[in-house]
């Protein structure tokens, strides 16, 4: 059975359900939990990265810009830490042995590295449901983990909300 369960979380609406599924399984298996949040500039909630264009007449970023970016990054980091603390407290309240960590880097790689180092038996993570060109351009953390993880994986699937174009297309088709 599972003795160590790694739950990969980010700061979106899916995290609560992912955590709850992991918590229920940990209680059933009497497993330990590792809660993981990866700080990445790819996260939709992260501050915009500074860009340095190669244009001679562009003055570049000043000290104030760097300071503002650092403040936003620190706030992003603190919000992730607070989320982990809340989930950690919930696990402890339910009698589940838990710890947490927040690391920086490429989410898929970090998840696999932590799972290997911690000797996880299972990774629980979410999937947004991107496919086609969206997945190609945005990448897929869950796809990376599925192909590189050192253990079993449970993927909680959350479909992407249809775009307005898809809704218009569906409305037009249903009226015909």
Give residue-wise pLDDT tens across range 2-38: 999 999 998 888 899 999 999 999 999 999 999 999 9
Pick one of 2.60.40.10, 3.40.50.620, 3.40.50.2000, 1.10.569.10 as the CATH number of 4-45+82-175.
Answer: 3.40.50.620
| Crossing angle between the packed helical segments 63-93 and 14-29, to the nearest 10 degrees | 40
Domain boundaries, the chain: 4-45+82-175
pLDDT tens-digit profile of 83-100? 999 999 999 999 999 999
Residue 56 is predicted with a pLDDT of: 52
pTM assigned to the model: 0.79
> What gap in Å lies between CA 125 and CA 113, rounded to an integer?
15
Q: Beta strand pairing status for 32-39 and 152-157?
A: unpaired
> What gap in Å lies between CA 54 and CA 52, rounded to an integer?
7
Segment holding 79, helix H or strand E: helix 63-93
Read off φ and ψ for residue 19, nearest 5 degrees: -60, -45
Share of the chain above pLDDT 90, in %: 54
Partnered with residue 13 across adjacent β-strands are none
């Amino acid at each position: 059975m599972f003795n160590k369960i790694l739950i990969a979380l980010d700061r979106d609406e899916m995290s609560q359900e992912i955590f709850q599924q992991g918590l229920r399984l940990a209680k059933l298996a009497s497993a330990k939990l590792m809660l993981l949040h990866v700080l990445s500039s790819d996260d939709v909630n992260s501050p915009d990265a500074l860009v340095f264009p190669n244009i001679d007449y562009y003055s570049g970023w000043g000290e104030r810009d760097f300071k503002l970016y650092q403040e936003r990054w620190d706030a992003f980091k603190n919000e992730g830490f607070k989320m982990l603390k809340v989930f950690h407290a919930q696990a402890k309240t339910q009698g589940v042995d838990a710890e947490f960590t927040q690391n920086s880097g490429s989410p898929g790689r970090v998840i696999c590295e932590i799972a290997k180092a911690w000797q996880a038996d299972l990774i629980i993570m979410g999937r947004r449901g991107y496919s086609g060109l969206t997945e190609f351009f945005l990448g897929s953390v869950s796809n990376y983990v599925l192909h590189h993880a050192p253990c079993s994986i449970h993927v909680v699937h959350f479909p992407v909300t249809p775009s307005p174009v898809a809704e218009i297309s569906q409305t037009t088709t249903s009226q015909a």
